[in-house]
């Protein structure tokens, strides 16, 4: 089948969903969008080709593939299982894909509901941030069946550079938890390293140039070190959202008896930064924990 013969519904046009749905439209898919805030859907339609639905059910009823990227577990329960939700309206045989970062439990709940209605489901959280969504180079971590993933691989290719099946439903979300914990630790180490570099009068750009190709190299070092030292923290993924993701990690770790001391330390620092008015700053604002006035 060609993209023009496939209708894709996209539920949630936030920081990530807006450009992801845009890539689908640009690649020739018939796209139906739903967003809780009507003005955002109108803004999307002004930029891309597609149709607007006014409930998740209306969007789902028209689609072969239904994608979602919303805020949290509660949002997912509403858009999938609510009175005007996806599950009750989707055509049998449709494929449901959730790109939200949420719990493994909600993924299993949605999978069970989907199977009861002859639908297929994948939990498929993404990594790469706003820039990755805009540039169509996200990483997708998938939980579900390979046979289902194969059916939507071309859809994922519109906005992803890497797509990997991790395991059964729920394993995509668990892999995303690991991803967020890695980012948390790297940002703490980078924050401390940059403060030392600053104190010793090192040229940060030269430091990045030297280190990024060695053992200390990371995406955060290459993309955030200079902006962190320039006091710039407006790069999309807010600490409000990171704390939401870390809460999911802590809940999963508690169930498994796994200690996460560094992540809990960083989460505490993020809580202090929220109190200082940095809720919507991106996660690299962690370096401001070392501000002189806060010591």
Task: Please write the tens of the pLDDT for every residue from 149-197.
Answer: 999 999 999 999 999 999 999 999 999 999 999 999 999 999 999 999 9
DSSP 217-243: --HHHHHHHHHHHTT---SS-BHHHHH
pLDDT, position 235? 85
- The superfamily in CATH containing domain 3-167 is NAD(P)-binding Rossmann-like Domain (3.40.50.720)
93: Cα separation from own chain's centroid: 26
Confidence at residue 294, expressed as pLDDT on a 0 to 100 scale: 52
Query: How far is CA 263 from its chain centroid?
Result: 19
- Does residue 222 register a pLDDT over 90? yes
Computed over every residue of the chain, the mean pLDDT equals 96
- Segment 95-120 shows an average pLDDT of 98
**Which residues have a catalytic role annotated?**
176
| Residue boundaries of the structural domains of the chain | 3-167, 174-290
Compute the average pLDDT of residues 7-35. Answer: 98
Q: pTM score > 0.85 for this model?
A: yes
Over pLDDT 70: what percentage of the chain? 98
Residue 201: left if φ>0, alpha if ψ -120 to 50, beta else—which one? left
Rounded to whole angstroms, how far apart are CA atoms 79 and 77?
Answer: 6
Q: Quick one: fold of 174-290?
A: 1.10.1040
List the structure tokens of 206: 């030269």
DSSP track, 160-173 = EEEEEEEESTTHHH
The band of 22, judged by pLDDT with boundaries at 50, 70 and 90, is very high
Buried b (16+ CB within 10 A) or exposed e, 173-197: bbbbbebbbebbebbbebbebbeeb
């Amino acid at each position: 089948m060609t993209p023009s013969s496939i209708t894709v519904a996209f539920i949630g046009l936030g920081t990530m969903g807006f450009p992801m749905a845009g890539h689908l439209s640009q690649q020739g898919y018939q796209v139906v969008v739903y967003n809780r805030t009507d003005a955002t859907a109108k803004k999307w339609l002004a930029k891309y080709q597609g149709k607007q639905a006014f409930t998740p059910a209306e969007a789902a009823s028209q689609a072969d593939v239904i994608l979602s990227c919303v805020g949290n577990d509660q949002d997912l329960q509403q858009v999938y299982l609510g009175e005007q939700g996806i599950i009750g309206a989707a055509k049998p045989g449709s494929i449901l894909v959730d790109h939200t970062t949420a719990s493994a439990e909600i993924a299993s709940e949605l999978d069970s509901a989907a199977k009861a209605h002859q639908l297929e489901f994948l939990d498929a959280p993404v990594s790469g941030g706003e820039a990755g969504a805009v540039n169509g180079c996200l990483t997708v971590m998938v939980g579900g069946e390979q046979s289902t993933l194969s059916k939507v691989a071309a859809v994922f290719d519109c906005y992803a550079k890497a797509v990997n099946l991790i395991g059964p439903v729920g394993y995509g979300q668990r892999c995303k938890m690991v991803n967020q914990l890695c980012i948390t630790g790297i940002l703490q180490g980078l924050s401390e390293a940059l403060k030392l570099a600053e104190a010793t009068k090192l040229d940060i750009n030269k430091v990045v140039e030297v280190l990024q190709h060695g053992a200390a190299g990371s995406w955060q070092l290459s993309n955030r070190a200079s902006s962190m030292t320039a006091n710039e923290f407006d790069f999309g993924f807010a600490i409000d959202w990171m704390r939401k993701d870390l809460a999911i990690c802590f809940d999963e770790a508690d169930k498994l008896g796994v200690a996460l001391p560094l992540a809990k330390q960083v989460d505490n620092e993020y809580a202090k930064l929220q109190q200082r008015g940095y809720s919507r700053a991106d996660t690299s604002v962690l370096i401001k924990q070392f501000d002189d006035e806060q010591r």
